[in-house]
Amino acid sequence: MVALVAAIAPMLVAALPERWRVPQVVVLIFSGILIGPHVLGLSETSSVKLLANIGLGFLFLLAGYELDLRLLAAHEGRLAMIGWVVSAVISLVAVAGLTKAGFVRDFIPIALALTTQPIMASRPS
């Protein structure tokens, strides 16, 4: 089922009218929720655990390719690093509390996810 969704998602996105276009990752995430064990139960998380870990590794690898070390040495880069460290400390404290309360089982991935923030690109109207 996971392979079928991965094959159909790009075709579905391409078939959408221009004004309804969404990124392919949105279709993949919602499809994963739909076929996952908590909605339709058509797929189990254990069957894609290895694939999920490999995908996460590639995500971090590609993020590393995007870094320009010269920008990190600039004033803005230093501010960005300080901001990330502050958000990492806050997320570690928050996730530690949630783990102690029994709400979180995967400490590190959740803490890292909380340190990210989306970058909103402005579109000309």
Report whether 43 contacts 36 (CB < 8 A): yes
Please write the tens of the pLDDT for every residue from 52-64: 788 888 888 888 8
> Is pLDDT at 123 greater than 60 in this prediction?
no
Residue type, 59: L
Q: What is the distance, to the nearest Å, from the Cα of residue 99 to the centroid of all Cα atoms in its chain?
A: 20
> Is pLDDT at 125 greater than 50 in this prediction?
no
User: For residue 118, what pLDDT is reported?
Assistant: 54
User: For residue 11, what pLDDT is reported?
Assistant: 92
Residue 78, CA distances (Å) to 7, 19, 28, 122 in order: 41, 39, 35, 24
pLDDT tier at 44, thresholds 50, 70, 90: confident
Cut 0.85: pTM above it: no
Q: Which two tokens stand for residue 61?
A: 């690898």
Please write the tens of the pLDDT for every residue from 100-122: 998 888 888 888 787 776 554 44
